[in-house]
Structures are given as structure tokens and as C-alpha cells.
Amino acid sequence: MDMDMSVHSLNDPAAAGPLLAIENLKKYYPVRRGIIRHTVDQIKAVDGVDLAIYPGETLGLVGESGSGKSTIAKLIVGLETPTEGRILFDGKDISRLSPREMTSLRSELQIVFQDPYSSLNPRKRVGELLSEPLKVHGIVPDREISGEVGRLLELVGLPKNSRSRYPHEFSGGQRQRIGIARALSLKPRLIVCDEPVSALDVSIQAQILNLLKELQRELNLTYLFIAHGLGAVKYVSDRIAVMYAGKIVETGDVKQIFREPKHEYTKALLDASPIADPRQRNKRRAFYSER
Ligand SMILES: Nc1ncnc2c1ncn2[C@@H]1O[C@H](COP(=O)(O)OP(=O)(O)OP(=O)(O)O)[C@@H](O)[C@H]1O
């Protein structure tokens, strides 16, 4: 093998090919009316999206409410079936898998939801919530499950005694740590983070974002990080894709998006992202262009 080529592919994730590639993805929902509920129109939630996510990177997907971000997340993890298009994971089309095939893909591809409380069964203790996926997917032998639960708790910064407590006994930030531990339990390669800090107090958001970044480094994870504003994505993303009305209107690395946004909607998003003193806006743009 050519030496230069191998070094190049180690340093440049794009050279290794995308871990996830989305091609001309569409999801239309019918709008039904009348007693016989006939279709009168369609909502084009996702309307011809192309995206690539490379191993080890974080792609931030931003757009206002209703732009189609969550629909993309649901399509990727198999909670919805596309109207058209393909979703390639490691080169294999996963957009129309049988439930059985989807189960085996679960260990490669996980999702962290905005509201961890609604995604965690409130009647189960944390120990059970974390050991369940390990058992179902046979991740470790039975005798190692308890140790593995301890390792997961430690990974996300939760005390060991958390395993005997219920989700409602935790704060919002801690509950999101449980959600992240559960996603990590199957040792996935890609995690779709669907607005993982939007429901948290601002003071807690940075802690969870830092945790996600640390875990990415430690476990070599790839993230699709979804948010409605540029605030959180700028801290975690390598590249950003901007979504508007079901379409990707702009993609670029973080620096480029902040320094020279091309699309009017990206500029509006930038101007709408919270800033303590609006007079600092130009300084902020300058700061990001120097990063
Ligand atoms: N199951 C469904 N049936 C009909 N329409 C739907 C369905 N799910 C989503 N939609 C519509 O598709 C569009 C995109 O919704 P989606 O939830 O993907 O947007 P979003 O960008 O994630 O917004 P949010 O940040 O509010 O979650 C919206 O107009 C929404 O009303």
C-alpha cells in the first residue's frame, strides 16, 4: 500500500468514506380530511436531503421547529420509513429493514432524545434500565452485567448507588446522563443526539455537551447532533448542515458557517442565536472566524 495514502486516510475521516450517507431522502405525510379521511395534501417533512457523516465527526443539524430535523432522526433509527431515498450505514441501505434486521442494527446506531424522562421507563430502577439492553443484545456474559452497569455509570459521571434508584429521583441533567449511558450500553458507532440539551437548564447544558465531547474522544463515536439554534451545535460540531422547510440549504465546517454564511436563512439563524450584548455580534463572528 502507498504509505502516503494510508497516512492520509488515517488523518482525514473523509478519506475513509462516510459512516452514514443519506441520499435524496424524502418523507411525506398525508394530510387527510373528511369522514373517509381521503388525502387532500402532503406535508413534505423531509424533501430530498443528501448528507454524509464521517467516522469520528460530529455533524450538527440545525433548523427551526418544523424544518424536518426530528423526522430525519426517526428515519435514520428506523422509527419511520422513507417515502423515497436511501440511508446507507457503512455502505448498507438501512432504510427499509425488517424489525429483526433493525434489532441487530440497534447495537451500531443509537439515539439520545430531548426528554430523557419520557424515554426511560419510570417504573424501572436505573440498574435495570441499563442491564436490560445488555441482556437482550448479549453484549456481555450474564456474570459481567453488573460490572458493566457500574462501568457505564462511571463513564457518564453518575454515582454507583444510582443503580438502585428510579429516574424521577434524578435531576434533568442526571436523567440525560442515564439516557446517554443507555445509548452507550450497546457500544454504538453512531449516536443521533436529538436536541439532547434543549430541555435542560442553561447551567447544565455545558456539562452534558462536555460529557458528549469527552465520550466521543474516548469511545471514538460519531454524532449527528440536532438542535434548533446554532448555540449548542457550535461547541460540539465539526461541520454544520442547515435545514429549512425539509431541505438542507447549506453545509459547511463550523468556522465557515460562522464566518461566511451563504444562505439567508443561515444568516437569520446566526443573528437569532442568543447573545448577551448585540453590539458584540461582530466580535463574535470575528472570534469564530479565527478558530
Ligand atoms: N407523524 C406525522 N404526521 C404528520 N405530519 C408530521 C408527522 N411528523 C412530523 N410531521 C410534520 O413534519 C414537519 C417536520 O417535523 P419535524 O418534527 O421533523 O420538525 P423539527 O425540525 O424536528 O421540529 P421540532 O424542533 O419542533 O421537533 C412538521 O410540519 C410536522 O408537523
* Residue 249 · residue 242 · CB < 8 Å: yes
Question: pLDDT tens for residues 257-287?
Answer: 999 999 999 999 888 765 544 455 555 455 4
pTM greater than the 0.80 cutoff: yes
Cβ 228 under 6 angstroms from ligand 1: yes
Cβ 114 under 6 angstroms from ligand 1: no
Q: How far is the CA of 27 from the centre of ligand 1 (A)?
A: 10
ipTM of model? 0.95
Cα dihedral 81, 85, 91, 96 sign = positive
pLDDT at 229: 86
Question: pLDDT tens for residues 208-267?
Answer: 999 999 999 999 999 999 998 888 899 899 999 999 999 999 999 999 999 999 999 999
pLDDT at 126 over 50: yes
Question: pLDDT tens for residues 9-48?
Answer: 445 555 679 999 999 999 999 999 888 888 889 999 999 9
